[in-house]
Chain A
């Protein structure tokens, strides 16, 4: 395994992202908290989307990752609330549980070669199952109303991994998580497993005939991907200080993941990040535009809440039909073609 080389451009880019809280502080001190919140959301979802794309890029289109983010968030919070177990232990436990569930569902799927439609629909059932369990255990989880991790002290605590009141700290935690996600993506991208999985996604028989253990390779990437999503879900819960099936588990979350990644670009490092920026900015931009304009507000009324979803759905259809490589993938293609024409 060769060490990852980081290009100068990447260093500049990362420093720019790291300096975002400073920009926000200088440009808009009044609404600093709001912008930081937006950035944190983008980074956390970028991490989760990157985790999903680890599987998605190899043709393993899972609609089950809403289950893994849900497991991450709920197991961590329940262990903290019910047993007083610090998230330092709770998060690893939730991550392991998610990975085990991923492997338990993945193993029969991959052995029996359940792919495509069947895989998507089967993992969809997993999402529903986990959501129903969360709702069913309402004495502990609060059901569909959601629950909150109980606050430790003033809300900032190393012991309880609570950091919500300090947005700058939260930003750097999310930033570190996002970097970790990109690092994992790159490690996978440059490993032999990636070639094995690429081969398997093209033709399983041919891949198996050259000695690739297809089931094993797929299980490895499934465990990794579900673990990352659980970690993302757990940190999301710690930051939001509120979790509910609607915000962190369930079919809506699963579908959002798939669609944000498709919109951003499934096969590039920063594709999921672009997808997260795109979807979050779209939703927030529309919300602010509607709140700010009296005419829009009077036309749309309370239904304005759904406008971003409608636009989102429409764009998705258009993306899949006309731009299956996503924003970033298509952008890179154009850039390359333009350079070639110039050369």
Chain B
């Protein structure tokens, strides 16, 4: 329980690093949506939850894991498009806070629907990937895979945004919403593509999360606040910032949890977040606001 610079501390540090990959991936989708559409999906973690259930059903229905994962990603991507089309588009011109709150309604709806359809029991895929031991420290393979895939996913998104025509258009519209339509770009179509991408990223995160975590309807409440905190800390819409912030926050959680109780790790992280925002309101890595 006590905090010493020993091997357990190092293990906590590295586990924090591995957690950071997942959190960074989760924050990435939300940041993409915010950067391009200027909307915060408060229900982002609930979309991840839907993806997790999708994977669970597909996998237990006899599909190989990778196919189940693909189905999960498709489900969340479609969910993102539906969310944008039915819920976000009607309130796009209203005060920003309305857009945040309307997705809060979706949060209730998704969570309650999941409770009604799937019950409140914890589920898991029952896949055991085991763990590896390095210098007396043990790390689970699920976490290592998660970390690597998360890094790969981020790299893929970066390449997509940098190297493809569609990616360039998305970056352009993030820079100037007014001018781009004048250049003959259909912003509504781009918003739909972005929503699908953001939803798809939630699906990738869901794929990684089913390896480590139990699935239950309230899982969104466990991860949601963390993801928002990371996005705001890194500067909403700033993907690199979100990436770095994920590493800072996860270290607070991992080290705090290993020294004290788990809740205190989280509590300290939230406290750090509030103080950091008071010092740098535009986020740690945000430019001028």
Measured CB to CB, the residues of A under 8 A from B are: 59, 61, 105, 108-109, 112-114, 116-118, 120-122, 124-126, 128-129, 132-133, 135-136, 251-252, 255, 258-259, 262, 300, 302-310, 312-317, 319-321, 324
Contact B229 A125 (CB under 8 A): yes
Cβ A105 vs Cβ B105 within 8 A: no
Q: List 24 A-B contacts (CB under 8 A).
A: A108-B281, A116-B97, A117-B96, A120-B97, A121-B40, A121-B232, A124-B225, A128-B225, A136-B261, A251-B221, A255-B104, A259-B104, A302-B120, A303-B116, A307-B116, A310-B112, A313-B109, A314-B105, A314-B109, A315-B105, A317-B106, A319-B105, A320-B91, A321-B102
B112 and A112: CB pair below 8 A?
no
A-contact 0/1 string along B112-132, CB 8 Å cutoff: 110111011000000000000
Does B8 touch A at the CB level, under 8 Å?
no
Rounded to whole angstroms, the CA-CA distance of A183 and B97 in the bound complex is 28
Q: Which residues of B contact A128 (CB under 8 A)?
A: 225, 266, 270
Return the contact of A305 from the options B115, B228, B261 (Cβ within 8 A): B115
| A-B residue pairs, 6 tightest by C-beta | A313-B108, A313-B109, A316-B105, A309-B112, A310-B112, A306-B115
Complex alpha-carbon distance, A6 and B277, angstroms? 45
CB-CB under 8 A for A129 and B267, given A124-B228, A259-B105, A321-B90: yes
Residue numbers of B with Cβ under 8 A of A are 40, 87, 90-91, 94-98, 100-102, 104-113, 115-117, 119-120, 217, 221, 225, 228-229, 231-232, 236, 261, 263-264, 266-267, 270-271, 273-274, 277-278, 281
Main secondary structure of the interface of B (DSSP, over half): helix
Are A262 and B263 neighbours in the complex by a CB distance under 8 Å? no
**Residue in A114, A136, A313, A321 whose CB lies within 8 Å of B267:** A136
Contact B108 A309 (CB under 8 A): yes
* Chain B contacts for A312, CB-based, 8 A: 108, 112
By beta carbon, the residue of chain B nearest A137 is B263
Given A112-B278, A258-B104, A320-B91, answer yes or no on A129-B117 (Cβ-Cβ < 8 Å).
Answer: no
